[in-house]
Every structure is written in structure tokens, then in C-alpha cells.
Amino acid sequence: LSATPETPKEDGRPKWDNKFQYILSCIGFAVGLGNVWRFPYLCQIHGGGAFLIPYFIALVFEGIPLLHLELALGQCLRKGSIGAWNTISPYLGGIGVGSWMVSILVSLFYNTVLTWVMWYFINSFQEPLPWSVCPLNENRTGFNEECYESTAVNYFWYRKTLNITPDIAESGTFQWWLILCLAACWAIVYLCTIRGIETTGKAIYVTAIFPYLVLTIFLIQGLTLPGATEGLIYLFTPKLNTLKNPRVWLDAATQIFFSLSLAFGGLIAFASYNPEKNDCEKDAVTVAIVNSMTSLYASIPVFSVLGFKATTAYWDCLDRNIIHIINEFDLPEESIMRQNYTSWISFLNSSYPEKIAGLKLKSCDLQEFLDQSVSGTGLAFIVFTQAIILMPGSQAWAILFFIMLFSLGLSSMFGNIEGVFTPLLELQILPKSAPKELLSGIICLISFLIALCFTLGSGSYWIDIFDRYAASVPLLVIAFFEVIGVVYIYKIKRFSEDVEWMTGRKLSLFWQITWRFISPLLLLIVFMAFVTLQMQKPPSYTAWNPKYEGFPMKEEKVYPPWVQAICVLLAALPCVCVPLVALFHLVKQKRRSKEPSLVPPEVSFCQGANS
């Protein structure tokens, strides 16, 4: 009994239903919340259209080569991250373990962000929206003080949602509503990843395509709002002299790197379910370009809405000033309009300067309102929610917006969970008879229990820490070792033959140059610059403290030493796996008194052999 050579190897490995599912999964993984709330912010603060120049340079020389490398690696070795690196060389197994750890850490905090999105979603079914009005205080004479001094939107976010403590050292209590939403989110993740790619492959059709529909709807709606054009002009006007600031180039490189979700191990896992003869080069270019185009496409509605919000705030400021002037001078109603406000002001200032000065009018400047740039959770939960209140039919817009954010985040979660699930499946933690559903259930349950820490009062401070330290430096380090490992240890000659065998055409010179020199060099520079910038000042955070004098400004505080130690631990733990595992194997080989051979034998792991 022997299988004929033409039949594909029946190794029982699950595979994608079709190529489209695979591409969609990779795109869904890459396109996440960062495309909506980080890229437009970076575009705005780094000179608008001019930012696209370093962005595309980083895309071509750093993003696409690294993406191609990961996809080719996964497809060739047909294993998850830990298995793949162990196959190349046991000394490099630490890279896989590092990726796996980062995937776990990121899954934990990313799903908590989705918890917040879900909380806002289920609160969007009320009329009026709960973040549009301030609650009354105890004796019903006025509004709640904290809410009155900041805004209703801020109050709902910091008090009603997070119930935030004024300091990271104060943990506060568990917020039961967040625990409920967290349980629901992990249940949804379990539902979609229950059988690995068999189930995520079906779910991805919805979660990856739906955000584009909603973005288009928001685009059309956003462009019809007043003030949208101001926002767009502000966003896209290129200010070329910002390119002289090296910070811009660093931000472009890091944005591309983190946006493509490299070094998580999830892409390797996705590619490992591919048939061997698949054009990974075209896939990589497709995914990277779609990701960048999505960022650009998303920034248009975001900035239309931000322009609308700035214009509305500007008009409100003008109106308030007008009411004060009319009340003071007893002028008839509608004598001063927004259009002739400036001429009236100059006339009144020249005739009655003391009265005008006594009114203490706030200067209303549209540019100032446009300059208030926010990124991250602030953009979604504070700025955007405020803009949604001003739109007609706000419930529908809120529901659409939060479902879109949820799908964006969920499709990225699939990639993260796959990066955790596939290596564990291959390591055969559970006996072979145990169903896959049990392993995914265990992963989701344990993650839920650990993520309960983020539902404490100080939870959002911890999420910031995880975001800044666990999901930044280790990824750069792991990606650097990935490139070095493949190019110099597995040897680029062997790898290019493998890629040729898979894609069916010769590896072009572009990939050779970028893989060998440009990408590792860029990664090294970015890593050094990143670490230097972080070390320049002691790590600090901004806390929401109602008792602070400058309230509603956030209070700048420094992390206590024990928190700083945790930050360092989070950043160092995945990185340190790489040398630790290599050392472990070195000691093992020395003990067996064999010659420690770093270079594995000259046989390709792709072509033909599936040992």
C-alpha cells in the first residue's frame, strides 16, 4: 500500500476553503482599529499629505518585504510560529516562543478594548444617547459636578464606563458591567475561533467586509456635513517642512510595522494552511496595499466628521459670545449674526472697549478647534461620540459606528488567537483524542480570567501600558531576528529556491536586497530610535483626577517604580526568549557532547519533504 506521488499529502491539516478566505483573513488581521484611529491622527500632526511620503517609503522597504517573508515562511514550513522556527533550527525556536507570548499579551488587552466598544454599542439603543446629557446631582438643583466641569461625553467615558481611579496604584473595584461585556466578547471570540480556521474562515466574510460598507456610508454622510471640507483640507494640505523632523520618519516606520501586524505569528499560522504551490509574493503585495489604502480611505470620513465637529464647536463659541454681547448691549435679537460677528466686534471694541473686556469673551478660532487632535480611544469614545450627538438620527450612526469598530477589532483578534492556537495545537498540549473545541475553549476561558484585571478601576491605565510596552518593542526585536534568522541562518539562497518552488518564478532582485540589507537595517534603526525616545524622559501617564486643580485637564503623573518594573518585564520577556531558548539548546547539545551546529543540514524544508 503506497500513495501515488501525484495525490496531495493527507496530513490532516485544515486548509482554507478558497484563496479569497485566506486573503480576507490576512487583510482582516492587518486592518484593525489602528487604521481608523491612529493613521488619521499621524497624518494630521505630521503635515497632512506630506506624511504619505515617508509612509509609502516605509511600506515599500519595510512593510512589504517583511510581510512577504512571513507569508512565505508559513507557507513553506506549514507550521505555526513555534513549530516553524523549531524546524528551521532549534536554536531559533525562541523567536516562535516570543511571537506566541506577544500574541497572548496583545489578545488580552485588545479584547478589553473591544469590551469598551461593545459597552458603547449596547448603550446606543437609548433615546437620548446616554453620553449626550449630564446626570443631575443629588438634590436635583444642577448637574453632576464632575460632568458639568468637563463634558457629558468625557463623564460617560471616564465615570460611567471606566469608573477610573485617579492613580494607577489605586486599583479600585471591579466594574460589573464591564465584566459582563468582557464575558460576551470572549464568548464571541470563542464562537468564531471554536474550530480554528474552519470557523474563522466563515466569520471573516462578515467581519472583514462589513467595515468597508460602514466606512462608505460614513464617507457619504460625512461629506454632506457642514464643515467637512475644512476638516479634509486641514488633513490633506501637505506641509513639506515637517519632513525635516526625524520623528515623522520614525512614526511612519512604526505605523507601517504595527499596522501590518507583523511578528505576531498569526500571519505565519494563516499562511501555513495554504497549499504549497501558492503565489505568496502576490499575496503579500496585495495585503499590504489593501491595508494602506484602507487607512487612507478611513481617514476621509474621520476627518470629515472631525471638521464638522470643529465647525460646530466654533459656531457654538461664536453664538455664546453673540448672546453675551446682545445681553450686555441690549441689542435686538438677530442683529449680530455669525457672518458679521467680526465687524461688530471690531466696532464695539473701538467704541466700548471696557465693556467688551468686562465680558471676558473667549476668542473663537476655527484653526484652534481643528488642531485639537486625538488618537486612540480618545478619538473613538470622546471626539467621535460627541460628533455623533450632533448628527441627525444619532442612534443609528452610533450603532453603525460601534459595530464597525467591533468588526475591525474582531477580525484582528482572529489573527491574534490563531497565533496562540496553532502553535499549541501542534505542540499537542492536549491528547490527540481531545477535540479542537476544548483547546480553544480553554484558551478563551483563561484569557477571560486574566483579562478581568482590566475591568478594575485602573484598568485603562494598564491597557495603555500593555499597548505601549508589550505591543511595541518586542515586535521590533522579533521581526529583526526573523529576518536575520531566515536570511543568514537558513541562508537566503535556500530560501529563494523555496520561494521559487512555491511561486513558480525566480525571486526578483528587489526581495534579495531588501531581505538581506535594507529591512534588517531599517528595523535596527527604528528599534534604536524608539528605545532612545522612550528613555529620554521617565515614563509617565495622564490621569483623570476630578480633584486636580487643572481639571478637566488630565494630570500628568509618573509611574511608580513597581509599575515601571512591570513595563520593563512586559517589553523584555518576549525578547529574552530568543537568546534563552538558544542558550538552552546550546547547553543541551554540549551535555550530549555533540558538536553544536547552528547551521542545519543543507536540505530544504519546503520542497517535497514533510518530515
Partner 1 sequence: YAWDANEEYLFKAMVAFAMRRYSSKSTTQISNVLLCNVTDRVSFWFVVTDSSKNVTTVPGSEVEAAIRMNRNRINNAFLLSDKTLQFLKITSTLSPPVEPSTPVWLIVFGVVLCLIVAGIVFLIVSGIQKHKKKKESTERENLEEKVEVTLENGIPCEALDLKAGHINGVFAADDDRFTSL
C-alpha separations of 223 from 14, 35, 40, 44, 306 in Å = 45, 20, 16, 18, 11
Q: Is 11 in the site for partner 1 (CB under 8 A)?
A: no
Tell me: does residue 326 bind partner 1 (CB under 8 A).
yes
Q: Indicate the helix (H) or strand (E) that contains 29.
A: helix 19-30
- 199 scored as a contact of partner 1 (CB under 8 A): yes
Q: How far is CA 118 from the centre of its chain?
A: 17
The DSSP code sequence of 328-360 is HHTPPTTSS-STTHHHHHHHHHHH-HHHHHHHT
For residue 553, the surrounding DSSP H or E stretch is none
Q: Does residue 332 touch partner 1 according to CB under 8 A? A: yes
Stretch that binds partner 1, among 43-51, 122-130, 164-172, 600-608 (CB under 8 A): 122-130
Contact call for residue 396 and partner 1 (CB under 8 A): no
CB 139 → partner 1: shortest distance, Å?
10
Alpha-helical regions (H) of 330-458: 341-351, 353-359, 366-371, 377-378, 385-390, 394-427, 436-451
Using rule CB under 8 A, residue 194 touches partner 1 = yes
- Looking at the Cβ atoms of 156 and 273, the one nearer to partner 1 is 156
Distances (CA, A) of 62 to 163, 509, 532: 41, 15, 20
In the complex, the smallest distance separating the C-beta of residue 434 from partner 1, rounded to whole angstroms, is 11
Cell of 159: 465615570
Contact flag: residue 442 with partner 1 (CB under 8 A): no
Q: Is 327 in the site for partner 1 (CB under 8 A)?
A: yes
For the stretch 2-40, what's the b/e string if a residue is b when 16 or more beta carbons lie within 10 angstroms of its beta carbon? eeeeeeeeeeeeeebeeeebbbbbbbbbbbbbbbbbbbb
Is there a binding annotation on residue 291? Answer: yes
- Which one of the spans 92-100, 297-305, 325-333, 471-479 is the region binding partner 1 (CB under 8 A)? 325-333
Alpha carbons within 13 A on the beta-carbon side of 425: 24
Tell whether residue 7 is a contact of partner 1 (CB under 8 A).
no
Of 368, 417, 394, which is closest to residue 103 (Cα–Cα)? 417
Q: Is residue 586 at the binding interface for partner 1, with CB under 8 A as the rule?
A: no
Q: Which is nearer to partner 1, 186 or 314 (CB)?
A: 186
Q: Among residues 306, 185, 249, which one has the least CA distance to residue 54?
A: 249
Contact 607, 501 (CB under 8 A): yes
Is residue 35 part of an annotated ligand binding site? yes
| Binding string, residues 154-183; x marks residues near partner 1 by CB under 8 A | -----------------------x--xx--
Query: What are the E-state strand segments in 252-307?
Result: none
The contact pattern for partner 1, residues 285-324, with x = CB under 8 A and - = no contact, is ----------------------------------------
- Closest distance to partner 1 from the beta carbon of 99 (Å): 28
User: Is 171 known as a binding-site position?
Assistant: no
> Which residues of this protein are in contact with partner 1, per CB under 8 A?
118-119, 122-123, 125-126, 133, 135-136, 140-143, 177, 180-181, 184, 187-188, 190-191, 194-195, 199, 326-327, 330-333, 435, 437
Q: Which residues are annotated as a binding site?
A: 28, 30-31, 35, 259, 291, 408, 412
Query: Binding site for Na(+): what residues are annotated?
Result: 28, 30-31, 35, 259, 291, 408, 412
